[in-house]
Amino acid sequence: MIWMTILLAGLVTFYLRYSFIGHSQRIQTPEWFRHALRFVPAAVLSALVCKALVYYGGTLQMTPSNERLLAAMVAAGVAWRTKNVLWTTVTGMLALWVLQALGL
């Protein structure tokens, strides 16, 4: 079952990437669709990040004592300033470890 899932997920992923590159001459997309595509990265990536901040280890952790939320705020400051993946990740991890060590 896992092998079939991998194969199907791979085909879908390939087709999403190939779609317009492969058929650019034949596809006519409605205008609202092209408008919607512009917001996909911001909406999807932000949803991925925010979900992972409050839902981990199989439970919802939407409390003020969630260290990940605090560490994420520190990392968000770095991400906003630098747009740099490496520095954001390093800062956020260090912030989390410090907060965990302090037991806040």
Binding site for other proteins (CB under 8 A): 1-10, 12-14, 16-22, 24, 29, 32, 34-56, 60, 62, 68, 71-72, 75-76, 79-80, 82-89, 92-93, 96-97, 100
Q: What DSSP element (H or E) covers 56?
A: strand 55-56
- In the DSSP assignment, the letter for residue 26 is T
Closest CB 68 distance from other proteins, rounded Å: 6
Angle ∠(10,7,43) on CA atoms, nearest 5: 35
Contact criterion met (CB below 8 Å) for 65 and 104: yes
CA distance 92 to 16: 32
